[in-house]
A and B are shown apart, each in its own frame.
Chain A
Amino acid sequence: MSLLKLDNLETYLGQYHILQGVSMSVEEGSITVLFGRNGAGKTTTLRSIMGFNPSTTGSVHYNNQRISGISTHLISRKGIGYVPENQGIFSALTVEETLNLAKAKSKGETEEKMEWMLELFPDLKKFWRKKSGLLSGGQKQMLAIARAYINGDGLLLIDEPSKGLSPIMVEKLMESILKMKEKTTILLVEQNFLMASEIGDYFYIMDDGKIVHKGLMQDLKEDKATCQKYLGIA
C-alpha cells in the first residue's frame, strides 16, 4: 500500500521550473531511494512534500489524505519526520533539549521512540548535555535522524545523510537506517549509489526535474546501462 503518493508535481523556485511533473509513491514499510545528479530536483521534491516549496500544480497524499497546500507544521503533525540536507541542527541547544523539542508536537509513544533512538545511537546518550553545535558531523547526522524519527509517526524523509561523512560513519549510519525500516517507512535522497543500493527496496531516478526511471533496487543494480547513464556508475 502506498503511504505517500506524489502526483504530477510542478514546482517553481523563483523563475526556475524545478519539478516538472514528478509522480512517485512510497510503499509502507519500505526504503525508497531517490537518486539523481546535483540539481536534478531531489531536495526540492522533499521540500515540496514538506510544504517549504509548495508545488503550483499536482498533489501530495499521505495516508490517503491530501497534504499539499497546507502549512509545513500541519504536514509534520500528520506524522512526517524530516532530515534536511544541512541537518538543520539547533547548534546552541543541547542534545537533550533538541530531542525534547522533537517530542513537543509528536504523536505516538514518544518515550519509547526516544529510548530506541538512544539505543541505536549511543553517542547521543553519551553527549546528552553537550551543545549540538559541538558534535561531530556524524553525531549531528544521528541527532537529526533521531529528532525526525521521534517527531514523526510513520514516514521519514532523509536528504543525503552520507554527505560529508567518512566511509566508516556512512556504513554505520546506513546500518542504523536499515534497522529503522523495521519501525518506519523511509524516503531517502542519496547520491552514494553503492551504499543506498544496499539498503533500498525501491528506487526512483530524477533528471532535470523529471522522474526518468523507477523500479526495484535489485533490478537497478543489474542494469549497468541505466546506472552508467544517470548515476555515472561504471
Chain B
Amino acid sequence: MEVFINLLVNGVSTGLLIFLLAAGLTLIFGLMSVLNFAHGGLFVWGAFSGAWIYKETNSFLLAIVGAIVIGMALGWVLERFLIRPVYGNHVRQLLITLGGMLVLSESIKIFWGPNPIRVNLPGWLEGSYQFDGIIIIKYRVFVIVVGLLLYLALWLLLSRTQIGLMIRAGVMDKEMVQALGINVKGLFTFVFLLGAALAALGGALLAPYSGVVFAEMGMQYAILAFIVVIIGGMGSLQGSALASLIVGVAGAFMAYYIPDLSLALNMLLLAIVLLVKPTGLMGEKGSAV
C-alpha cells in the first residue's frame, strides 16, 4: 500500500508537470494549427532561468516570476519572427520550430555553459510528510497543488471569460471568429504567450524537482508533451490533463515494476489510443475545454 501511494503521488506530480508543457502546446495547436517543437526550448529556458534567479536571489517566488517573464519574452520573439511567417504550412513550421528548439537549447550553453547545473529545493519545501510508512515529499505535494490550481485557472479562463470564449470559437473556426470582428492574430499572440508562460513555469518547477537541469532536456520533454497532446486529443485542455496524468502515473508504476519497459510505455500508450480512438481520448473537433 505504501509503495502504491508513493508511486501514485510521484506519478501525479510528474504528470502535472508534463501537463504544464502540454497545455500550452495543445492550445497553440488547436487554435493556430502550429506544430511548435520550439515549445521544449521555452521549457528548458524556464528551468535554467528559474534556477539561476533562485541561486542569485534566494527567492523561489522571484525565480518563478522571472522564468515566466523570460519565457513569455522568448515566446513573443518566436511567434512574431519565426512562426507568424509560416502559419498554415506544417512542413515549414516543423522545420523552423525544430530549428528554434535547437537554437534555444544551444543558446543555454552561452549563458550557463555546457555542463548540467544542480538546483536545490527551496528551504520551505524541503523534507517530507510521513504517515504510517508512507513518505510523501513536500515538493511533490507543492507541484500537485500548483498544477491543479493552474488547471482550474485555465479551465475558468476558457469557459468563463470573454477571451476564453474567443479562443474556443477560434479553435473551431478561425475565419468565422474574424468575421465577428475579433482580431485573430492578437488572439494567436495571447495564446502563444500563455503557452510560453506555462512551459517556462513547468521548467522552473521541474528544476528543483529533478535536482539537475541540462540543455538537452527540452527535446526530451517536448516529445513527451507531444505524446500527451496526441493521446489527450489535439486542442483539448481536459484531454491533455487526463493524458498527462495517465502518462505520469503509468510511467511511475512501470519504472518501479517493469523498468525495462518504462521507455517504451509512452509509445505503447500512444499506439493503443490511436488504434482505439484516433482523435485522442477527448479529441473532438472544436472542444478546447
The chain A residues found within 8 Å of chain B, CB to CB, are 50, 52, 71-74, 76-77, 82, 84, 88-93, 97-98, 100-102, 104-106, 133, 147, 151
> Shortest CB–CB separation between residue B273 and chain A, in angstroms?
21
Chain A residue at minimum C-beta to C-beta distance from B288: A92
> Shortest CB–CB separation between residue A44 and chain B, in angstroms?
14
6 tightest CB-CB pairs across the interface, nearest first?
A: A105-B181, A88-B176, A76-B181, A72-B178, A77-B181, A92-B286
Chain A residue at minimum C-beta to C-beta distance from B179: A82
Residues of A within 8 A of B165 (CB): 93, 97, 100-101, 104
Residues of A within 8 A of B173 (CB): 88-90
> Shortest CB–CB separation between residue B241 and chain A, in angstroms?
17
Contact check, B168 vs A90: say whether CB atoms are below 8 A apart.
yes
A78 to B57, CA, bound (A): 51
Chain A residue at minimum C-beta to C-beta distance from B163: A104
Residues of A within 8 A of B182 (CB): 73, 104-105
Residues of B within 8 A of A89 (CB): 173
Residues of B within 8 A of A76 (CB): 178-181
The chain B residues found within 8 Å of chain A, CB to CB, are 162, 165-166, 168-169, 172-173, 175-184, 284-289
A76 to B182, CA, bound (A): 8
Checking A50, A52, A71, A92 against B168 with a beta-carbon cut-off of 8 angstroms, the contacting residue is A92
Residues of A within 8 A of B289 (CB): 92
Contact check, B181 vs A88: say whether CB atoms are below 8 A apart.
no
Residues of B within 8 A of A50 (CB): 179
A97 to B165, CA, bound (A): 7
Residues of A within 8 A of B166 (CB): 101, 104
> Shortest CB–CB separation between residue B190 and chain A, in angstroms?
14
Residues of A within 8 A of B183 (CB): 71, 73
Residues of A within 8 A of B175 (CB): 52, 72, 84, 88
> Shortest CB–CB separation between residue A72 and chain B, in angstroms?
4
Given contacts A93-B165, A93-B169, A101-B166, contact A151 B286 (CB under 8 A): no
Can you list 18 contacts pairing A with B, beta carbon distance less than 8 Å? A76-B178, A76-B179, A84-B179, A90-B176, A91-B172, A91-B286, A92-B168, A92-B284, A92-B286, A92-B287, A93-B165, A98-B169, A100-B165, A101-B165, A101-B177, A104-B182, A133-B286, A151-B181
Checking B169, B178, B184, B288 against A101 with a beta-carbon cut-off of 8 angstroms, the contacting residue is B169
A172 to B140, CA, bound (A): 61
> Shortest CB–CB separation between residue A210 and chain B, in angstroms?
26
A11 to B285, CA, bound (A): 31
A190 to B288, CA, bound (A): 34
A147 to B287, CA, bound (A): 20
Residues of B within 8 A of A147 (CB): 180
Given contacts A52-B175, A91-B172, contact A101 B180 (CB under 8 A): yes
Residues of A within 8 A of B184 (CB): 73
Chain A residue at minimum C-beta to C-beta distance from B172: A90
Contact check, B181 vs A106: say whether CB atoms are below 8 A apart.
yes
Chain A residue at minimum C-beta to C-beta distance from B286: A92
A110 to B205, CA, bound (A): 45
Most central of B166, B175, B176 by chain A CB within 10 Å: B176
> Shortest CB–CB separation between residue B65 and chain A, in angstroms?
31
Checking B162, B179, B288 against A88 with a beta-carbon cut-off of 8 angstroms, the contacting residue is B179
Residues of A within 8 A of B287 (CB): 92
Contact check, A104 vs B179: say whether CB atoms are below 8 A apart.
no
Residues of B within 8 A of A151 (CB): 179-181
A76 to B183, CA, bound (A): 10
Checking B162, B168, B178 against A93 with a beta-carbon cut-off of 8 angstroms, the contacting residue is B168
A114 to B162, CA, bound (A): 17
Residues of B within 8 A of A72 (CB): 175, 178-179
Residues of B within 8 A of A102 (CB): 180
Residues of B within 8 A of A133 (CB): 286
> Shortest CB–CB separation between residue B230 and chain A, in angstroms?
20
Contact check, B178 vs A84: say whether CB atoms are below 8 A apart.
no
A106 to B179, CA, bound (A): 11
> Shortest CB–CB separation between residue A69 and chain B, in angstroms?
15
Residues of B within 8 A of A91 (CB): 172, 285-286
A77 to B180, CA, bound (A): 8
> Shortest CB–CB separation between residue B186 and chain A, in angstroms?
9
Chain B residue at minimum C-beta to C-beta distance from A72: B178
Chain B residue at minimum C-beta to C-beta distance from A105: B181
